Amino acid sequence: MKTNYKKIFITGLAVITAITLIAPVLISAQTNNSGQGSKGFCSRISNISSTVDQKIADRETKLEEKRAEINNKIQERWNKRDDKLNGQHTKWDENRAEHFARLEEKAQTDAQKQAVATFKEIVNAAVAARRAAVDKAIEDFRQGVQEAIKTRKSNVDAAITTYRNSIKTAIQKAESDCASGVDPTTVRQNLRVDLKSAREKLVSDRQAVDKLSASLEPLIIAKREAIKKAIDDFKAAVEKARADLKAALGQ
């Protein structure tokens, strides 16, 4: 009885091990042989054509949805940031007004009052200039982003059109060869080569487009430089106003 258990166990283990090891191979083989061979290939070409057309149409729909999602996301971010910036402006405008009011309270002589008025005028002008320059830098950057999106769309659409036309031409050629009595095995092989070539072209086109879209560095640098200049100018104006007022008030 004990021997029977062992035999059953060893046999079972051997079978299970064999199944485990060959299962992936069988699955793989099934995948690779999912085509129906060259036999009847010519009669299936029209089906292949309509299936591909449908798949491309479906993917175009998905691409458009994604594009809309990206555009909405960008617009949403811009609106949110504009609101935040406007909120900051209001808050700091109020604070600045409070500081001006306290300085005015402390000014005793006409000369001191005039110095505070000059300080206010210079600072307010500097704030307005800085904000205008920053707004312009943001606007330029956003226009650059929109332009990059537009260029990308154009390049992607061109790559897809090329891909679609290549497939169409390859299938038409296969249909023509079939009609001319070329061996279906040869027709199928040629079609495979053409389709592979079309796919590889699409991959390289996409990589080129991605590379182009990712090169927004000049826009970023331009924005940073414009904002840095606006801030440097602002700081210089405020520091001069500070020194002048301190001298006038004797602080």
Partner 1 sequence: MTAKDKAMLITAIALVVIGLFYSYVSFLAEKLPKIYNQVVPTEQPNKTLEIVPPPATGNVDDAANAILKELSAEDQILAEEENDASLITGDSQEVGDFGQSINENEL
Contacts of partner 1 in 99-158 (CB under 8 A): 99-103, 105-106, 119, 123, 127, 134, 138, 141-142, 145, 148-149, 152, 156
Q: CA of 3: how far to CAs of 11, 15, 126, in Å?
A: 12, 18, 98
Whichever of 48 and 182 has its CB closer to partner 1, that residue is 48
Least Å distance, CB 194 to partner 1, is: 8
Q: What is the DSSP letter of 108?
A: -
Q: Which of 236, 235, 99, 239 is nearest to 107 (CA)?
A: 99
CB 153 within 8 A of CB 178: no
Which ranges constitute the DSSP H helices of 107-216?
A: 110-179, 184-214
Site for partner 1 in 207-226 (CB under 8 A): 209-210, 213-214, 216, 219-220, 223
Task: Please pick, from the candidates 7, 79, 98, 236, the single residue that binds partner 1 as defined by CB under 8 A.
Answer: 98
Q: Which one, of 124, 146, 122, lies nearest residue 244 by Cα?
A: 122
Number of residues that bind partner 1 (CB under 8 A): 99
Q: At 87, phi and psi to the nearest 5?
A: -60, -40
251 forms part of the interface with partner 1 (CB under 8 A): yes
Q: How far is the CB of 105 from partner 1 (least distance, A)?
A: 6
Instruction: Give the footprint of partner 1 on residues 8-67 (CB under 8 A).
Output: 9, 12-13, 16-17, 19-21, 23-24, 27-28, 31-32, 34-35, 41, 48, 51-52, 55-56, 59, 62-63, 66-67
